[in-house]
Structures are given as C-alpha cells and as structure tokens.
Amino acid sequence: MNIALLFPGQGSQTVGMGKALYEAHPQVHRLFTVAEEVTGLPLRELMFEGPAEALQRTSVTQPALYLHGYAVAQVQGFAPAAAAGHSLGEFTALAVAGVFSFEEGLHLVQVRAQAMQEACDARPSTMAAIIGLSDEAVEKLCQEVSEGIVVPANYNSPGQVVVSGETAAVEAVMAQAKTAGARLVKKLAVNGAFHSPLMEPARQKLAEAIQKASFRAPRCPVYPNVTAQAEQDPEKLRELLIQQLTAPVRWTQTLQAMWADGLRTFYELGPGNVLTGLVKRTLPEAQTATYDH
C-alpha cells in the first residue's frame, strides 16, 4: 500500500501528549531520555502534565512535537512511500526518512525553536487564519496593506490561509478579510510571525546549524513545504529546509502533488488530527488515519 506519512507542526501540541505512547511502549523510553539530555528540558513532565502555557512556548513545543512524531513512527514501523511535515513537522519527516539521525534532527529543532523564540521576542508580531476566501484574494489583501509587513504563511487547505507579520498589519488584513466576506477570521495563539520575513534572524542562525549537519538521501521521497514537490536530493532538501522559515508552507499544494503522484492513503503521526482534517478538506476521496501511540 502506498502510504504517505504526515507529521504535524506547532498548534497540535496538547497536555498529555505522548503519555499513552510512553506507557505502552518501553522501547521509546530511550528516545525520551535522549531528547531530555539533548534539550535540557524536562519533556516528560511538560508533555504529560503541562502546564499548557509552558508547553505552548516555541522552545518547548517544537522538540516535544518532533519527539512524539518520531517515536510513533518507530513504534508503528510503517514503510512509507512518501513523507511530509507541516512546518516543524518537516524535520520529523526528514528524520523518519533517514535524512539525518534522531539526535541530529533534535539538535536542529532546538536551534530552530530557540532562534524563533528570540525573533518572536524581538518584535511584536502574530498570525491569523482566514477561512472562506481564495488564496489569491488573501494574497491581494496582504499586498494592499500599508501598516507593515504581512504575508501568506500557510496555505492549509482550499479556502484556508494563515497570514503572518507585524501585529498592526495582520490586524489590518483581518479587518479587510471580514469586509471581503471571509467566513472566519481568527488570530492564532502564537507569539510570533512564523514563515514571514520577520523570521530572517532565526533563519540565519538555523542555516549555520543545517550547513554543519550530515544529510543523506531519504529512504522515500519527502515533499518540502517550500516547493510542495517530491524531493530525494539531500543537498536540495538541506537548502529547502533553510528557506522554510521565511517561506510559506504550501500544504494544500503538497497534498495535491502527493495525490497527483498516486498516493491515496495518508497517516498522521503525533498528537491530534489537524493534518487529517486538512487532508479530508483538500482530498475528499483519500483514506486517512491518525496515530498518537
């Protein structure tokens, strides 16, 4: 069976994540121990017990999601025909595909999370979901705003785009989107402008770490967020991972490309079912399943 594995990004975290996995599978205990040693974070405590505010900090959320998704993949032992991850999830997809080791990926995720946290703290910025307008309509709204930097950050599913940028500019787009007839306009519970030019300082720090890492050819094609096309060249995967922080996540296009390439079954690995919902909206005929342990 041609299975595509999907790994979630920030927003899927929840208190209690990974607990059933940890209790059911003693073989993942080592991964949790390694993750705590590499990050210096009490991940078991934060993931299993919270509090939610601590788990929502970018510097905690990203290692937690990476650890959870990778551990589920190891336990389930799927042999996927392809893999992709939403934003942070791309790191999990690359690790599961064997592009870099669990430990190497964890180090990159930690560098990314800390650099993003610093970029968030340095400048008031936010993100907002706009539902019910076309991609082109949202792009036009962003271009017309004069209050500052705002760009489309996530193309999540047809009619669902997330914008990202300086707070005043995002709020201006939100107001215009309501006027333009958007069905729902909602500010996200994030503390920064991910996948926008405001992440450039973080991208530079992450680029240094990625350039030093050892990248190998993946065991299956990986669909990077930047191009939304199947890729197997390790050097291209490296370059696209560096570009990812300031470029939009083309998730709608990724799913459509996977479908065009013959993939019909999509398994989401990690907490929640956000990506499964996006698959159902984008590819109504696809087979889906979610695995959190």
Q: Which residues are catalytic?
A: 87, 195
Between the alpha carbon of residue 168 and those of residues 123, 127, 260, 278, the distances in Å are 12, 11, 39, 28
Between the alpha carbon of residue 280 and those of residues 130, 208, 255, 273, 276, the distances in Å are 18, 37, 10, 11, 6
Q: What is the DSSP letter of 60?
A: H
Distance between CA 276 and CA 215 in Å, rounded?
29
Q: Residue 237 in contact with residue 215, Cβ under 8 Å? A: yes
In sequence order, what are the beta bridge partners of 84?
6
Distance between CA 166 and CA 168 in Å, rounded?
6
Nearest CA among 58, 53, 33, 28 for reference residue 43: 33
Please name the helix (run of DSSP H) or strand (run of DSSP E) that holds residue 100, with its range, or none.
Answer: none
